[in-house]
Amino acid sequence: MATFDFGGMMEEVVKDDEFPLQRAREVLKNEVVAVIGYGVQGPGQALNMRDNGIRVIVGQRTGGKSWQRAMDDGFVPGETLFSPEEAARRATVVQYLLSDAGQVAMWPKIKACLTEANTLYFSHGFSIVYKDQTGIIPPPNVDVVLVAPKGSGRTVRTNFLNGSGINASFAVFQDYTGKAREKTLALGIAIGSGYLFPTTFEREVVSDLTGERGILMGALAGVMEAQYTLLRKHGHTPSEAFNETVEELTQSLIGLVGEKGMDWMFANCSTTAQRGALDWAPRFRDAVAPVFDELYQRVTSGQETRRVLEANSTPDYREKLDRELAAMHNSEMWRAGAAVRSLRPENRK
């Protein structure tokens, strides 16, 4: 484990050259890893492990789109593709990758399949930390661990395929066998992590829920809509408003931030843009700080998790979600976005 200076604070990280794939294979050579749930995180993690030589089976409800997707990806019913319960019974490592609400609903059946010295693996601290709401309390004779990729399930796979990997956090909640940490690191490397950094289940879920509702998704969508609407109100065309709000960010500037940081992006823009950004960044920061304070309080108090479980457990949840996403898809802003994307050179070939 290497120590790095993160902005003046020393933290430890585990890089893939310090815990190489061959070592991960050795640690996991006698394990059968069951990926329970083939929706968001399941496909990327399952396929990466399979490509890395780990014995992987999938547990998924039969007959649905995810079952068919697993078959399309080469998992064979009765051989490497089973019901969630059957996969859990056959496994020594149970990767519990259903949605948070799905984990609650399935838990009694999965818990009954766990045997002594199994490893119960999560990619989110939600179910364990908010056990008063979820009812998920693991038996005492299993290891309980976490590897949380810092990206979408799709990115877990695409980054693996292009050789870049994806950062992930890891934690051990319960170490029954005395080998939980090594197995956790091996699983993290096996799913394609470029490096892993330690956390706890609680820190992971609080930072993750805050990030998703904040800058990664909720805040980003909100400020984009606000700027687009402002420009349109003052007579700018949909194309101009979208380009100045989204396209330039995603196709140019965010890449510079990812390459060397925000200061480097500023340094590679015009002096007019630099001056404006430096003057206005503190105003936006101060304006949204109270919203972030409220968000963090709602996450730590359990209000946000309660909202998720209540909303996602209703019988018509999927229909409601589809309507909400359709409203976004059909808005002028994102219809303009579809038109702008179609004009990119790579999409006109």
How confident is the model at residue 1, as a pLDDT? 67
Is 236 catalytic? The answer is no
| Cα 288 from Cα 161, distance rounded (Å) | 37
Name the catalytic one among 124, 234, 236, 329. 124
- Domains plus CATH for the chain? 2-199 (3.40.50.720), 211-347 (1.10.1040.10)
Coil vs helix vs strand at 207 = helix
- Give the HSE-up count for residue 130: Cα atoms under 13 Å, Cβ half-sphere: 26
| Cα 52 from Cα 21, distance rounded (Å) | 8
What are the phi and psi torsion angles at 231 (to 5°)?
A: -65, -40
Token code pair at residue 53: 């030589």
Q: Are 224 and 242 in contact (CB under 8 A)?
A: no
Q: H helices then E strands: how many in the chain?
A: 19, 10
Integer angstrom CA distances of residue 280 from 30, 139, 164: 56, 52, 34
How confident is the model at residue 6, as a pLDDT? 76
Q: Are 75 and 101 in contact (CB under 8 A)?
A: no
For residue range 296-311, what is the model confidence (pLDDT) as tens digits? 999 999 999 999 999 9
- CB atoms closer than 10 angstroms to residue 216: 15
Regions of the chain with pLDDT less than 50: none
How confident is the model at residue 127, as a pLDDT? 94
How confident is the model at residue 137, as a pLDDT? 97
- Which one, of 129, 120, 104, 100, lies nearest residue 204 by Cα? 129
How confident is the model at residue 64, as a pLDDT? 85
How confident is the model at residue 173, as a pLDDT? 97
Amino acid (one-letter) located at 321: L
Instruction: Note the pTM of the prediction, 2 decimals.
Output: 0.89
Token code pair at residue 247: 């396209």
Handedness of CA 194, 197, 198, 199 (dihedral sign): negative
